[in-house]
Homo-oligomer: A and B are copies of this chain.
Amino acid sequence: MTSSAEAAPGAPVRRGRPGYDRDRVLEVAVQLFNEQGYDATSVADLAQRLGLTKSALYHHFASKEELLSVALDQALGGLEAVLAEPAAQRGAALDRLRHVIRSATDVLVSQLPSVTLLLRVRGNSPVEQSALERRRLFDQRVTRLVAEAQREGDVRSDVDAAVVSRLIFGMINSVVEWYRPGGPVDGDRLGHDILTVALDGLRTGGDALTRADRRPSAP
C-alpha cells in the first residue's frame, strides 16, 4: 500500500518525528479504524501499526477519540464547505444542486478513508453523536435545495424531496464500498455517471417521450 505521506527522496523534511507527523498518524489510524472497526481498535493496536510507543502516539493525539473527532471533522468539513461555496449559494436551485452533487462526489473521492469512517459512525459516543447531527443538518440543507428546485419547476414534483435527497446521497455514499483510487473507474467517470443518473436518469429521451417522439424533427 502506498501513501501520500511517504516522502519521495529529496522531498522537504516534514515537521515532527521523521515519517510520523500528525497527518501520517491520522491517516494510519483512519485506515486501521476502517479495517477493523473503531470500537475494536485499541491505542496499542495503533501504536503497533505505526511502530511507535503509546507515549510517542500520545505526543500527537491525546486519545483515540481525538483521532476519530479530527477524522470525522475532516470529512464533514469537506462536505459542509461544498454547501458554502458561491456555486451552492447563488443561482437556480437546480444548478446549485448540480454543484453540490458533483462536489460532494469529489470530496468522497479525495477523502475516501475519512468519509468511509464517517459513514460507519453509529452514535456510540458524544463525538459520534455530534457527527451524526452534522450529517442530519447537511441532509436537511440538501432536502431544502431539492424542494426549492421543485418550486422553481426544474425538479419533478412527483417525488418526495427528503426521500430523493437520501437516495441521491445514498448513491454517492455507496461508492465507498467499491471505488478505489487508481482502479479501473476514474473520478471523472464516477462524477459524470452520478450526476447523470441523479438528474437525468438512465433512460434516453425523458419520461414524457416515446422512442418515436425522440426522432429529430424536421426544421
- Residues of A whose CB lies within 8 Å of any CB of B are 37, 94, 97, 146, 149, 153-156, 158-160, 163-164, 166-171, 173-175, 177-178, 185, 189-190, 192-194, 196-209, 211, 214
Contact = CB atoms under 8 A, between A and B. Distances in A.
As for how many copies of this chain the complex holds, the number is 2
A196 B214 CA distance: 19
A197 B201 contact: yes
Contacts of A196: 156, 158-159, 164, 201
Contact of A156 (B163, B178, B200): B200
A112 to B, nearest CB: 15
B153 A167 contact: no
B193 A154 contact: no
Given A174-B171, A211-B154, A203 B200 contact: yes
Contacts of A185: 160, 163
Contacts of A156: 196, 200, 202-204
B193 A203 contact: no
A136 to B, nearest CB: 11
Given A173-B174, A175-B170, A155 B204 contact: yes
Contacts of A169: 174
